[in-house]
Amino acid sequence: MEKTGVSVDTNELKIQTEKIQNLLQQIETEILNMLGDEFRDLNIASPKQLKELLFEKLKLTNKKKGSTDKEVLEDLIDEHPVVEKIIRHRKLSKLVNTYLVGFNKYIKNEKVHTKFNQSLTATGRLSSSDPNLQNISIRDELQRQVRKIFVTSSSEYSFMGLDYSQIELRVLAQMANEKHMIEMFNNDLDIHEEAARKIFKLSSSETVTSDMRRVAKVFNFGIAYGLSDFGLARDLKISVAEAKNLIKSYFETFSDLKNFIDQLILDAKQINFARTLSNRRRKVTQLSDPSFLIRSFGERIAVNMPIQGTAADILKIAMINIEKKLKANNLDAKMVAQIHDELILEVKKTDLKATEELVKSEMKSALRDLITTLNLNEEVKVDLKVSYSEAEN
């Protein structure tokens, strides 16, 4: 992947850069007009000047000793209209400096060759650097537009994206042997809707509202990250007592999960390690720390690393098998990037169908192959699902 690299449309890069720089200038003018003449010399990018503006001149609530980080600014949005514009300015500045102007130094022969680091993340996932291709958000519209700069090497080729659907939740269901979850996944049900139905104790005839589904989604994705009643209350903007009741209801529904999570923490306390399904280990020294906060962090590691780490192992097995099979089948297709649970390939258009079938098959069978390769005393209980997309950028 590093050698192959990804082609960059330098003309599109120029267009995107100019567009974002114009937006930045526009928002700087709006901020200065809003604040008045005495702030004409304000440098919005300076944390020191921003701190003086917000807490000394505008007298906004100073909860974190003058910090101007993202969370602090988001808490201050309702106190002054300038805060929202400052957040947007920061976002656009990062976009220009990191992904647009910042990308130029990495382009050689109209390609970028990122580094995929194999032993840098604590969970075992690949990370990407110089430049980082993994953190250009698809949820943010401006960042999504930036992705247009990456193109195929010629019009005869297409990019193919194959993405594991909810792999961490499926791994959690597999490792915890959570019968309800396994049943939902293997019957291809909407996991968030079904979880909402159980959390809110709805009958089969009652409708799950979008708010109920949103609550269940926060649970399903937060449970592997040590979701606490305080954290849930903050995320859902409800009281801690309400959050406690929802957590109780969730674990009554998925009782195997509670036992599994408790066991993971207990095991990690005894051996000072968290382990993936393949027995890859991460040291967890925080569990014996006198500080409650540090111990809680250790518990989150003990729960999250086995799940996220196993998902990483599954994808690596898939990648190795895909590489072998592409060569064996003489397909004009190459992996060019890996972004968390997704593989990106550059494929000759005449080989798209055959490559899609091959890659999907290898990704779906990777959990089985992991178990077989390592002779694990485990059976495949949950189906892995893969979604597919294809385009020229």
Residue 280: which CATH number?
1.10.150.20
Q: Tens-digit pLDDT profile for the chain (393 aa)?
A: 999 999 999 999 999 999 999 999 999 889 888 888 777 788 888 888 888 888 888 888 887 787 888 888 888 888 888 889 889 999 899 889 888 888 899 999 999 999 999 989 988 999 999 999 998 877 888 888 888 999 999 999 999 999 999 999 999 999 999 999 999 999 999 999 989 998 888 887 889 999 899 888 988 888 777 778 888 888 888 888 888 888 888 888 888 999 999 999 999 999 999 999 999 999 999 999 999 999 999 999 999 999 999 999 999 999 999 999 999 999 999 999 999 899 999 999 999 999 999 999 999 999 999 999 999 999 999 999 999 999 999
Taking the CA of residue 306 as centre, how many other CA atoms within 13 Å lie in the half-sphere pointing to its CB?
Answer: 26
Alpha-helical segments (H) within 152-209 = 167-176, 179-186, 191-199
Same domain, 46 and 104: yes
User: How many domains are there within the chain?
Assistant: 2
Cβ-proximal residues to 123 (8 Å cutoff; 6+ apart), any chain: 282, 304, 305, 308, 309, 312
Structure tokens at 386: 């893969």
Same domain, 147 and 230: no
Find the length of the chain.
Answer: 393
40, part of any domain = yes
Closest CA to 232 of 279, 266, 199: 199
1, part of any domain = no
Same domain, 132 and 218: no
Whether the ω angle into residue 131 lies within 30 degrees of 0, i.e. cis, is yes
Contact between 362 and 322 (Cβ < 8 Å): yes
Cβ-proximal residues to 325 (8 Å cutoff; 6+ apart), any chain: 358, 362
CA–CA dist 193, 178 (Å, integer): 17
Instruction: Give the pLDDT score at 248.
Output: 87
Q: Which residue has the tokens 């698809």?
A: 138
Q: Where does a domain end: 308, 335, 356? A: 308
Closest CA to 34 of 86, 76, 74, 88: 86
Same domain, 132 and 200: no
Cβ-proximal residues to 282 (8 Å cutoff; 6+ apart), any chain: 122, 123, 124, 273, 274, 275, 301, 305, 309
382, part of any domain = no
109 Ramachandran zone, left/alpha/beta (phi>0; psi -120 to 50)? left
Structure tokens at 153: 């090497």
Give the CA angle between residues 340, 159, 13 to the nearest 5°.
Answer: 85
Same domain, 100 and 195: no
Contact between 115 and 129 (Cβ < 8 Å): yes
| Alpha carbon distance, N-terminus to C-terminus of the chain | 17
Cβ count within 10 A of residue 132: 14
Contact between 201 and 249 (Cβ < 8 Å): yes
Q: What is the CATH number of the domain that holds 51?
A: 1.20.1060.10
Same domain, 10 and 141: yes
Cβ-proximal residues to 221 (8 Å cutoff; 6+ apart), any chain: 168, 169
Same domain, 68 and 201: no
Same domain, 280 and 186: yes
> What is the β-pairing status of strands 150-151 and 127-129?
unpaired
Same domain, 11 and 143: yes
Give the CA angle between residues 347, 352, 354 to the nearest 5°.
Answer: 115
274, part of any domain = yes
Same domain, 46 and 105: yes
> Strand, coil or helix: what is 283?
strand
Q: Where does a domain end: 252, 287, 308? A: 308
Contact between 275 and 306 (Cβ < 8 Å): yes
Same domain, 287 and 191: yes
169, part of any domain = no
Contact between 152 and 159 (Cβ < 8 Å): yes
Same domain, 189 and 98: no
160, part of any domain = no
Range of the domain at 225: 178-308
